Structures are given as C-alpha cells and as structure tokens.
Structure 1
Amino acid sequence: MKSSSHAPSATSLPRAPRDDVDARSVRYLVTMGIRIACFVLMVVITPYGWYTWVFGAAAIFLPYVAVVSANVGHEGRRNRREDPEAALPAAPSEPSAPAAPEVRVIRIDETRPGADGARDGAA
C-alpha cells in the first residue's frame, strides 16, 4: 500500500526564481532587439512599400508582446499535470452494514389566536 504523503521528486519541483528571471530577461531583450531591427529596417529600406508597414507594425506591437511574454513566468506556460494519486483514498473501506441514520424531525404547529379559547388572552 502506498503512502499518500510523500515528498515531491526533484524533477517535479519548479525552477529557481533566479533562473526564471534570467530566462524572462533574455526573452524580453531578444524581442526588443527584434523591435529595434524592425524600426531600423522600416527607415533604411527604400523604396517604401507594403513591407514598410509590416516593419512599422512590428515595431509598434512588439513591446506589448515582449512585456506580456516576460511577465508570464515558466510556471504560467507549462501545462500543470495533477497527480490523481493524492486525491484517491489509501485503501478501499470494507463494506459494512449501513447504520440507520438518526432522523430528527422538528414540527412547528401554528394556531390562530382566536381559534383556541385558551390562547386568546382569557386564561
């Protein structure tokens, strides 16, 4: 029988925060480098045509993409697999005779004040 409380393995632990920050910084800097290249290509390449608009759009929208991708850490992009073993009981319980549940009944009877002679104030 397996124990339901076990330590997580070293391979299932998340990355160190320092490594995660380094990877996010590199991803941000690469994206911003591509943005600078798009801006330079937009200005330098002549004659201007449809590709000028593509480079301009990339130069405008890449900062947003860079910030969003840098803010999503490694944990946000990874598919999280849940181990169903922790949710299962350790051993199936033996079927036993079902105990009769205790039934509690609360009954409230209401009567009108004038319907019963003892309740209308004339004791």
Structure 2
Amino acid sequence: MSAQRRNCESMNISVPPSSNLHPFPTQQVAFHRTELSVILSLYGRFVAAGEWRDYGISCLRDVAVFSVFRRTAENPIYRIEKRPRMRDKQGMYAVVGMDGQILRRGHDLKTVLRVLERKLIRAVE
C-alpha cells in the first residue's frame, strides 16, 4: 500500500452529534424590508431634526420591536411593534410610548406612524 492510501484509511471522518435540542428552529417575528424602509425613513427625518439619536431592533417569538432612543443609555421613548397575532383583531402594528401607553394601533404601518409624524411638524418662526 502506498503511504497516501494508508493515511486516508487511518482517518476517521465522523459527523459531530447535533447539539440542537429543537428539531425545527424557533420562529421569530421580524420586520419585512418594506416595513423597515418606512420606519427608517421616519427615523432619518427625526435624526435630521435632532430629536432621535439611536435605535434598536428586537425580533422575538411573538413580536418584533423597533425601539427609538433619545440617548443610548435611556429607555426607549417610542416602540414600534409588529404583532402578527393581532392582525385580525385591532391591527398588528402599534406605536407605544415611554410609559407603555399605546398611542396608535392599526393594520397599515404608514397610518400608524402618522402619530409620530405630527410631533415632527413644528411651527417655524
């Protein structure tokens, strides 16, 4: 036998056991690209106005959350939530204030975000 063939025979190729406890990956709720473009467009206008400075996105099992911060170390001043289970009831999109109060809920993201756009409009002197 050649030396190369002996090296191949002596190698044991084994597949490591799967460490995944769940046979299927857990599903997460996330924002779609079109939804994110609407949210980030609004976010950019508030950043340009100097109102918002940071954001965070959380994709959980039941809800996707876009949190808006005035400063990084604070609690979010607004949360834009997507809850698909509420689609048939009150609408799956909601804007939640800092105190947990739901400012607006609905089926269309653009109309729900209008509650925040009103805060951007200021009187120019």
TM-score by length of 2: 0.21
For CA contacts below 8 A with separation 6 or more, give which structure has more relative contact order.
Answer: 1
Q: Which has the larger radius of gyration?
A: 1
Higher strand fraction (1 or 2): 2
TM-score by length of 1: 0.21
